[in-house]
């Protein structure tokens, strides 16, 4: 089985939905889609569910825009519907709209979610760029909060969308700034880090084939591939394991495999640990 079409992010577009949409576009361009042929306007305005370990949204949208331009005869496809990405984030479940951090300083989840509820109901009507620029959130530490950089980047996108004149093309994605160096961990943070490592490695202490729930007759992640990665994590968690190792890992699907949700939840916790 071939690997994923796009980079897999901790939270991204549902891979099955994206793969089906991409296949339909490719079949249309190849002239083999028949009654399933798709127009440029349909291609460029899909609705994908945000899930754990989905495809990177920016990569997907860039590819879709390029293919839609081909579908329109090279004249350029219509931009994605205004505010679509802003609303996709705001429509995620409360508490799951951005990466959650625990050791690093973050924004209060309740404060941010309350403002995003306002964004969801007022963007395109009464919400102003000035209001977004002036919003402030309580900061928290040593308890769950939203990643500050992710929230700030999102607010920048909201402001950019609100400042666009009608009919203007979508702004280019901002270039990510270099991360600031993390402060030295305190004794409390160090102890919490030890506890997190212990919880992550408890999975590795279970027998191979029994580390996560199994799917039975339906498909899940190939258990042998997952077990091999868990064994690798056990040997490298405190030394050479990197965030990229976690984010980019790919497992094939197999009947009777490990349940996607359980494995993905463990990977998200592992990814958060590698960033702390």
Question: Which whole number is the average pLDDT over 115-137?
Answer: 83
Contact 137/151 with Cβ under 8 angstroms?
yes
Contacts of 96 (CB under 8 A, 6+ apart): 11
Residue 188 pLDDT exceeds 50: no
Residue length of the chain = 276
Q: Which residue has the higher pLDDT, 62 or 167?
A: 62
**How far is Cα of residue 53 from the mean position of the Cα atoms in its chain?**
6
Query: Percentage of the chain with pLDDT > 70?
Result: 80
Domain ranges (residues) in the chain: 8-71, 84-163, 187-275
- In this predicted model, what pLDDT tens digit does every residue of 21-52 receive, in sequence order? 999 999 999 899 888 899 888 887 777 777 77
- In this predicted model, what pLDDT tens digit does every residue of 136-153 receive, in sequence order? 999 988 788 888 988 998
Instruction: State the pTM of this model.
Output: 0.43
Task: Name the pLDDT band for 236 (thresholds 50, 70, 90).
Answer: confident
């Amino acid at each position: 089985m071939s690997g994923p079409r796009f980079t897999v992010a901790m939270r991204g577009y549902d891979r099955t939905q994206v793969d089906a949409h991409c296949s339909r576009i490719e079949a249309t361009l190849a002239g083999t889609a028949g009654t399933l042929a798709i127009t440029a306007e349909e291609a460029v305005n899909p609705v994908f569910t945000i899930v754990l370990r989905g495809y990177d949204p920016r990569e997907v949208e860039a590819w879709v825009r390029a293919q839609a331009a081909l579908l329109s005869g090279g004249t350029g496809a219509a931009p994605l519907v205004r505010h679509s990405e802003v609303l996709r984030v705001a429509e995620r479940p409360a508490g799951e709209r951005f990466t959650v951090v625990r050791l690093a300083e973050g924004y209060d989840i309740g404060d941010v979610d309350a403002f995003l509820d306002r964004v969801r109901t007022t963007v395109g009507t009464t919400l102003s760029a000035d209001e977004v620029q002036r919003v402030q959130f309580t900061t928290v530490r040593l308890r769950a909060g939203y990643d500050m950089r992710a929230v700030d980047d999102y607010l920048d996108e909201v402001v950019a969308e609100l400042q666009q004149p009608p009919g203007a093309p979508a702004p280019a994605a901002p270039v990510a700034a270099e991360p600031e160096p993390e402060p030295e961990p305190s004794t409390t943070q160090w102890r919490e880090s030890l506890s997190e490592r212990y919880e992550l490695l408890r999975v590795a202490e279970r027998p191979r084939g029994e580390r996560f729930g199994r799917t039975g007759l339906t498909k899940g992640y190939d258990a042998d591939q997952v077990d091999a990665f868990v064994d690798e994590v056990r040997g490298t968690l405190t030394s050479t394991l990197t965030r990229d190792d976690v984010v980019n890992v790919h497992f094939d699907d197999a009947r009777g495999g490990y349940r996607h949700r359980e494995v993905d939840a463990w990977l998200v916790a592992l990814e958060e640990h590698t960033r702390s």
